[in-house]
Amino acid sequence: MNNNSTAMAERNSLSQDEALSKVVKEIVRCTNFAALKHKDQRRKDKQQTPYVNHVIGVAHILVSEGGISDVSVIQAALLHDTVEDTDTSFYELQAEFGEDVANLVKEMTDDKSLPKAERKALQISHAPQASHRAKLVKLADKLYNLRDLRRCTPESWTEERVQEYFEWASQVVAGLRGTNQAMEDALDQLFMERGVEVMGS
Ligand SMILES: Nc1nc2c(ncn2[C@@H]2O[C@H](COP(=O)(O)OP(=O)(O)O)[C@@H](OP(=O)(O)OP(=O)(O)O)[C@H]2O)c(=O)[nH]1
Ligand SMILES: [Mn+2]
């Protein structure tokens, strides 16, 4: 390598380091934002697990099982329940994390003012229209929640309600297929274990 190309390689590797450290900072800032927003919220299990474990777990499924490294998708996973379940607005997400991330979270957000049955039906009918990147987060969200149901039954849920959730999730997942083989295979395994019909494959 001559002097010129050495200098260029040094410049490139420096800027790669800088780019990487920017990503690390963004992910940590985003995790901290989610932790603060969900700080008073607990899961419905007996141990009252902090709710933020769920959103970090969804992001972890995306990177470790889904093989996803799209930073906005990971941020959307970390933030996916902030608007639905806390006082966070889309404007706030847009200002903090940009339009791309805010739009992905929008695709993940149920309208809590609608009756529950309607909300659940809309998840099934809207799933096929979601963007590819929102489908990734939706698959990871369902995978986390179904594994959590296998781990333990939320307080106040009957076995019948758990079974109904699996059956409804199978219908939502039918509309998300063709997105990520590893996550879809893991979901199908859970449906089969439960004796729930694997739909749309
Ligand atoms: N399995 C499980 N789920 C829990 C627990 N604690 C809270 N949840 C949340 O409950 C939601 C599923 O419960 P439902 O009764 O069907 O829905 P609802 O809370 O929106 O009315 C999920 O919301 P979501 O993430 O917005 O997903 P979605 O299922 O509504 O798409 C899930 O994250 C728990 O201990 N176990
Ligand atoms: Mn969720």
pLDDT tens sequence across 107-128: 999 999 999 999 999 999 999 9
| Number of other residues whose CB lies within 10 A of the CB of residue 4 | 8
Q: Mutate which of 38, 40, 41, 44 to test ligand 1's pocket (most atoms within 8 Å of Cβ)?
A: 44
Say if residues 103 and 150 touch (Cβ distance below 8 Å). Answer: no
Domains (ranges, CATH) in the chain?
Answer: 2-194 (1.10.3210.10)
Scan for tokens 């919220």, then name that residue.
Answer: 41
Ligand 1 close to Cβ of residue 83 (< 6 A): no
pLDDT at 201: 84
**ipTM of model over 0.95:** yes
pTM: 0.94
Which residues keep their CB under 5 angstroms from ion ligand 2? 81, 141
